[in-house]
Structures are given as structure tokens and as C-alpha cells.
Amino acid sequence: MSQPSPTFRLLTGLVITLFAVGVYSGYTILQLRSLQSLQTQTIDRNRTDTLLLLRIQNGLNGLALTMRDMLDEQEPYPLTAWQPQFRRLRTDLEDALSREEKFSLADRSPNQRRYLAESFRQFWDALGRVFTLAAAGNDSEARTQIRLSLQARQAALGTAVSRLLIQNNESETTTALRTRELYSGAERNVYIFLAAMLVVIVLTSLYIAHYNRRLFDRVAALSARRGELAQQLISMQESAFRSISRDLHDDFGQILTAIGVMLQRGTGDLLEVREIVQATLEKVRALSHALHPVALEEVGLESTLATWLPRFERQTGIAIAYRRSGDSRELDHATAIHLYRILQEALNNTAKHSRVKSAAVWLRFARDNVTLEVADEGIGIQDRDKQGLGLVSMRERVEMMKGTIEIVSGEHGGTLVRVTVPYA
């Protein structure tokens, strides 16, 4: 049963992750904008408003000092002489008050706004009546109005401004706490987001690793089954070749031999038929030997090679330089037939592809293994990524013998096939 592809699940996970990133990004942007709004519209505005209230407070202090000087009877100036100074203070206070109204906090009640403006209006009206009395020569009555009315109104205005300053300080403290909360929330969200992304990455990695492991296990199982099937196929092939070879050698060979003996007694056309029969007998024997060399079972690999290589030279016109080294060892039949087939395939590839007229075969017997090398100086392997059935069969046979195979092609041509297998 085929395993479902992880593509849909991975794409679903990617979509969910992107959606989470989008939601988090949008929420973070809203937090940052809220923080920016809090910074610009509340904190900065509150500080500007505080500075203007301090300016108003300083103006009120100036009014208090001026009224104190007016009440000092030792002053040589009449009360009306203080009018220019009050006009200057009034101009400055009205300018500060109009600016303060623009920057006052949004949470200030309308009554507070009206109270401050109305209190200043009443103060200026009362100041005007004082100067009217002073201009009429009633300095004593004017000073009485200053003590009873103007100083009380100035004190009330000072108290109101002080309350507004306290309110601004409280608002600034609250805003600072709110700012810290926003910063903490944004930092916490970053940590949560990073943790969530880490969890997603870990889960995705574990899923991919698990899926890849299942794939690798399946590939390994298929590879093992393929190897088993290849080995069974090679064994069945060798059995079939052995059976056909014996039939050709024993049955057809004997029949053709008997026909040849009978025809030997004749003359004329019968002798010509005998030669045809003899040639057919040679072809049958050659085909039998190619399918399964009986000599491998009778005399071993070395003697079989000594007989087969000259025949290969005659058939292909390629000169074979054969040598052996080391102490000869009797190989089991399976190892012998596999090495023989590998040699056949390697030399057939040389004859088909190398475009040379000579090759070398070296059989080396070591203490623990036997090595077979086939080398030529042809054009080498042209397409290294393409492997025919012959090369696949060679590798399967080597794997069946628990050996190793090297197929090396030089930069300037030439091919070397080296097979090393342990003794059974």
C-alpha cells in the first residue's frame, strides 16, 4: 500500500504558520501604533500642557507679587501706575491659557475647562473695577477690594492650576505604567511567537524525519527484495543455462557425433555433409560452453580461463594478456561461476565499446581473497550515470559473493574492472 504524500500536510502547516504570522504581525502593529499614539498624543501632549500650566502658575505668582506691592502704602506710586504691568501679565496669561486649552488632556472635564477660563474672566473684571476706583481717587476702597476679592481669586486660580498640575502628574504616571505594560506585552508576545515558531519547526522537523525514515525503511526493504529477486533470477538463469548446456552437449552432441561417424564411411557428397555436421557440432559445443562451461565443475576456474580466453581471442580479434599470481586455491562452484560471468561481461564490454585490440586479465590469489582485474586502454566509460543490465548483473553477482567491485575510468580513457571476493 502506497504511503500518502506529506505535501498536503506540509502545505497545510505552512498556510497555518503564515496565518499565525500574519495575525501576530497585525496584532503587534496595532500594539506599536497604540504605543506610538500613547507616546505622541498623551505623553508629549501632557508634558507640553504641564509646561503651559507652570507658565500660568508663574504668571499668577507675578500677579500675587504685584498686588502685594500695590497694598504696600509706602510705595510712592499711585495704584493706577500698576496698570501697564497688569496688562503685560494679562497678555502673557491669556496667551498661555489659550495654548493650554489646545494641549489640555482629553480626560479633563468640560467643567474644569470652563472653571479656569471663567475664573480668569472674573479676576480681570474685578481688577478693572479696582482700577476704576483708583482712578476716581478711592485708593482705600480699591486696596480693600484687592485684599478681599483679587487676592482670593488669585489664590483660587493658583489652587486650580495646582490641581491641574497634579492631575497631569497622575496622568503621566498612569501613562508610564501603560507604556511599560505595552512594552511588556509586546516582549511577551515576541517570546510566545518565538516559542510557537520553535514548536512548529520542531514538530515539522520531527514529522519530516519520521516520514523520511519510513521512506528510507521502505527503500531499504525494496532494495533488499530487489537484491533477493536479482539473486534468484541469476540462480535461475545459471540453472537454466546449465540444463540447456547439458542437453546440447549430451544429447545433440552425441547425436551429431554419431551422424558424423556414420557419414565418415561414405564418400563424395556424404563427406561434404559430414563436414557440415562437424561444423554444427563445433557450434553446439561452443554454445554449450558459453551457456555453462562444464569445465568449471571439472577442472576449476583457472583451467577454464586458460581454455576460454584463446577462444575469445579468435572470435573477437582482441589479444588478451592473461596472468595469474599467488598460490592457487580451489574455489567453490558459485564463486567460480560468478567470477567467470563477470569476466565474460567485462571482456564483452571491451569488445563492444572500447575500440581496442588488446586487453589484460589478472587473477590474483591472496591469503583471504581472490581478485580478478580486467583492463583496457579504450575510450573509457562515456556515460557514467547510465548503467546497463550487464553492469547491474556484475554488481549483483559481487554482492552475492559478499565482495567488492570497482569500475574505474581514467581521465584519458581506459577502463579497469576490479573484483575482490573472500573465499567461501
Q: Where is the domain boundary, 152, 183, 209?
A: 209
- What is the model's pTM? 0.46
CATH number at residue 398: 3.30.565.10
Angle 389-400/333-349 helices, nearest 10 degrees? 160
Would you say residue 67 lies in a domain? yes
Residue 312 placed within a domain = yes
pLDDT at 280 over 80: no
Task: For residues 19 and 145, state if they share a domain.
Answer: yes
Count structural domains, the chain.
Answer: 2
Cα–Cα distance between 58 and 180 in angstroms, integer? Answer: 33
Q: Provide φ and ψ at 423, rounded to 5°.
A: -70, 145
Could you say which of 184, 209, 234 is where a domain stops?
209
Q: Quick one: 164 and 26 in the same domain?
A: yes
pLDDT tens-place string over residues 166-188: 888 888 788 778 777 877 777 78
What b/e string do you get for 89-103 counting C-beta neighbours within 10 Å, with b at 16 or more?
A: bbeebeebbebbeeb
pLDDT, residue 91, reads 92
- Domain of residue 390, residue span: 294-422
Query: Within this chain, do residues 32 and 174 fall inside the same structural domain, yes or no?
Result: yes
Kindly report the CATH number assigned to the domain that includes residue 118.
1.20.1330
- Residues 46 and 189 reside in one and the same domain: yes
Spatial distance between the Cα atoms of 63 and 57, rounded to a whole number of angstroms: 10
- Do 165 and 19 have their domain in common? yes
Q: What is the pLDDT of residue 171?
A: 80
Domain end residue (candidates: 209, 228, 258): 209
pLDDT-derived band at 235, boundaries 50, 70, 90: low
For residue 263, being part of any structural domain is answered with no
Mean pLDDT computed over every residue of the chain: 80
Kindly state whether residue 114 falls inside one of the protein's structural domains: yes
Whether the per-residue pLDDT at 2 is higher than 60: the answer is no
pLDDT at 1: 45
Same domain, 61 and 176: yes
| Residues 309-345: tens digit of each pLDDT | 998 898 889 999 999 998 888 888 888 889 998 998 9
Within-domain flag for 244: no
62 and 157 inside one domain: yes
Closest by CA to 348, choosing from 309, 304, 405, 306, is 309
